[in-house]
Amino acid sequence: MTQEEILQELASLPPEAQRQVADFIAFLNQRYGRLNPVKETEASDLAKDGFIGMWRDREDMQDSSAWVREAREREWVKHG
């Protein structure tokens, strides 16, 4: 099964099952560690990054956590 197929299967699950999959992945990472550990990178000045603040004028993005939660619910319901 390819990674893309796994992602499609995951997207087809209901939200609770998706949370269980995420919990299981976290458990496996804790038990076995990551195969490709995240490399340390140099700190960058995020204030200079062009992406920072690009959506600051969008009314629907004032509460980004709520926006992400609603977007996930829309997508998961559509696929479920």
Give the 3-state DSSP-derived string for the chain, with helices as H, strands as E and coil as C: CCHHHHHHHHHHCCHHHHHHHHHHHHHHHHHHCCCCCCCCCCCCCHHHCCCCCCCCCCHHHCCHHHHHHHHHHHHHHHHC
Q: For position 17, what pLDDT does the model report?
A: 92
| Residues across the chain | 80
Q: For position 52, what pLDDT does the model report?
A: 80
How far is 40 from 26, CA to CA, in rounded Å? 21
> What pLDDT, in 10s, does the model give residues 30-40?
888 877 666 66
| Stretches in the chain below the pLDDT threshold 50 | none
Q: For position 78, what pLDDT does the model report?
A: 62
Q: For position 12, what pLDDT does the model report?
A: 94
Q: What is the pTM of this model?
A: 0.42
Inter-residue contact 11 to 77 (CB < 8 Å): no
Q: For position 21, what pLDDT does the model report?
A: 93
Q: Which amino acid type is present at position 48?
A: K
